[in-house]
Structure 1
Amino acid sequence: MARSDRLLRLLQAMRQMLPPITASRLADETGVSLRSLYRDIDSLRAAGARIEGERGYGYRLVEDFALPPQTFDRLEIEALVLGLGEVQTLGDPELAAAARSTLAKVAATLPDEREQQMLHAISQVYRPGARYALDVDMGLIRQCCWREETLAIGYRDADGAVTAREIKPLALAYHQNVLAVLAWCCLREDFRIFRADRIADPRPTGKSFRPQRVSLLRDYLEKLNARR
């Protein structure tokens, strides 16, 4: 295998594997010796890739400038256009704007031939309107997910009755016709899926649940697996 191909394969492995990634795992994935792997990591760092970690502790790819967008092939460009086009229809203005901005930035870095392929992408997303009609501030909810901060909300059930809740938002779930928030409900002391269109007046409480987030997600996944 040519050295350039080997370096690209190493970068791709570091993008896909969960950090920290041990040198032995990377060596197995790329089919090289540990000695060659250490040299390859040094070469990637010299080329501009920001790789944290060291021998004996594992590695993490933080910033990757060694593989710019112009290396996307035609099918990858089509996937980008399709995926980002779908995001623009999700009904959350903040996220839709981010998708448009991302697509513009990618297009600006492509050479002329690849840019024409992006404009000519055969997979386009056309919808007559936003998929989700929402009055709630999803930007605020998203920020609390990122900050791992508890939210106070009013939640309306199917009969229209509203209860005050305090929740620990873990993730946003995009279903076919419903945008929802996966959270730990402090009132019910259990996991709940809250429909975004039934959430009213979300307010950050200033209380962090950061030390609990990983264990909460692990417990939720274990519950899902137990139901299968």
Structure 2
Amino acid sequence: MRRADRLFLIIHALRGRRSAMPARALAETLDVSLRTIYRDVADLQLSGVPIEGEAGVGYVLRKGSDIPPLMFNIDELEALVVGTRFVRAFGGERLGLGAKAALLKIEAVLPPELRERSRRTRIFAPELAHRIETTGMVDRLHAAIEARKLLRLDYRDKDERITTREVEPLCLAFWGGSWTLGAWCRLREDFRSFRPDRIAAIHDDGVIFPETEAHGFDAYLRAVNASL
């Protein structure tokens, strides 16, 4: 996380609070050390941000320094809260951290009654250690899609036979219980969908592939008759 983003999130975390927020809670939320929080808060105070408090006590924005809250109705707020919970559970580490930061920003500027309502939402998406999202596989495939990196996959079929596939990764789709990777398969010379839980190994030689009209994302959607 960039330092500028971290400072922004610290300010948002303190907005609208009636009691001091412990430095440890800030550190856990932003996934940084206590020392980093102490340093960042001190820098914000020196730059004129009206943060009151100290290490061991907690921090709060001086009364009257808040900004108007975002205007969400109850259904919109619940949709945002539930959505970020699902992304944290199923979106991989990178998007999970982004969802956590986004929810912090949203809750930080809500009036107290809506903030309390967001915390009472009883739809959860538990983060479980045994799921594929915790292995880094989704994050690695996501990064390859964004960078247009050619991948070689050691891929298991339903009979546990392993073949090597050279693929141009185009998209990831989540089906409520499993993921699929949409890609152009150079072995089959056609679009294929691969299950990440059947990928035994990923080999990345740093080769960038051109996303052409015939082999690109739009062509993949047409081939599978999908609209994402």
Does the 8 Å CA contact 1:90/1:130 hold for their aligned counterparts?
no
Q: What does 1:172-191 correspond to in 2, within 5 Å?
A: 172-191=172-191
Equivalence for 2:16: none
Moved more, 79-88 or 106-115: 106-115
How far the C-alpha of 1:150 sits from its partner, in A, is: 1.3
CA shift in 2, pair 1:98/1:128, >3 Å: closer
Distance in 1, matches of 2:182 and 2:108, equals 36
1:151 maps onto 2:148 in alignment:
no
1:53-85 CA distance string (max 9 Å, x none): xxxxxxxxxxxxxxx971222211100111111
CA shift in 2, pair 1:113/1:183, >3 Å: same
CA shift in 2, pair 1:133/1:211, >3 Å: closer
Moved more, 109-118 or 176-185: 109-118
Q: What does 1:89-100 correspond to in 2, within 5 Å?
A: 89-90=89-90, 92-100=92-100
Q: Which amino acid aligns with 2:86?
A: E
Equivalence for 1:132: 131
Does the 8 Å CA contact 2:150/2:167 hold for their aligned counterparts?
yes
SS at match of 1:171: strand
Distance in 2, matches of 1:136 and 1:202, equals 11
CA shift in 2, pair 1:152/1:218, >3 Å: same
Higher relative contact order by CA 8 Å / sep ≥ 6: 1 or 2?
2
Equivalence for 2:171: 171
Equivalence for 2:160: 160
Q: What does 1:94-113 correspond to in 2, within 5 Å?
A: 94-113=94-113
Distance in 1, matches of 2:138 and 2:197, equals 10
* Aligned-pair Cα RMSD in Å: 2.8
Does the 8 Å CA contact 2:157/2:198 hold for their aligned counterparts?
yes
Query: Between Structure 1 and Structure 2, how many residues are aligned?
Result: 158
Equivalence for 2:76: 76
Q: Which amino acid aligns with 1:206?
A: G
1:71-128 CA distance string (max 9 Å, x none): 222211100111111222227333333322221122123233332222233x421448
SS at match of 1:71: coil
Distance in 2, matches of 1:80 and 1:190, equals 38
SS at match of 1:167: strand
SS at match of 2:123: coil
Q: Which runs of 4+ in 1 moved over 6 A?
A: none
CA shift in 2, pair 1:156/1:73, >3 Å: same
Over the matched positions of the two proteins, sequence identity in percent amounts to 34
* Structure 2, unpaired ranges of 5+: 1-67
Equivalence for 1:25: none
Distance in 1, matches of 2:157 and 2:71, equals 49
Distance in 2, matches of 1:214 and 1:79, equals 37
Equivalence for 2:198: 198
Q: Which amino acid aligns with 2:156?
A: R
Does the 8 Å CA contact 2:88/2:99 hold for their aligned counterparts?
yes
